[in-house]
Amino acid sequence: MMSVGLYRYNGDIYDRKSELTLSENISTQEFYDEHWERAIHELGISIIRDGSEIALHQLLDALAELERLREWAIQWLDGANLEYMKDRVEHLQRILPNVFDSEEVVLYIF
């Protein structure tokens, strides 16, 4: 099953010698396509989305986007869908501030 995740490498992502140093699941592809994409579109999210590269200077904006996504989930989802998206967003809110151990770190979402 395909999924969307948050990744960090110890060098240039396009260098075959770079090693994966962080891998966090964001969502299954199916759930992302159905719910995350809708929320991203409706909220005008620009950082926390498939295909993004996130640098340290974007951290506060990324955290603000996550909070907006969390609030969207609470408003529009229920049951297992709400719990799944809310849990994933809250996990990202907890880990994101701790993964930038230098100015050079870039995170990728794909």
Select from 106, 64, 71 the least CA-distant residue to 85.
71
The structure's pTM equals 0.94
Q: Residues with Cβ < 8 Å from 108, sequence gap 6 or more?
A: 6, 7, 8, 9, 13, 52, 53, 54
Segment 29-63, tens digit of pLDDT: 999 999 999 999 999 999 999 999 999 999 999 99
Segment 85-107, tens digit of pLDDT: 999 999 999 999 999 988 999 99
Q: What is the DSSP string of 76-110?
A: H--HHHHHHHHHHHHHHHHHGGGS--STT-EEEE-
Rounded to 5°, angle at Cα 97 from 91 and 103:
140
Between CA 96 and CA 7 the distance in angstroms is 11
Phi, psi of 60 (to 5 degrees): -65, -40
**What's the count of helices (H) and strands (E) in the chain, helices before strands?**
4, 4
Phi, psi of 22 (to 5 degrees): -155, 135
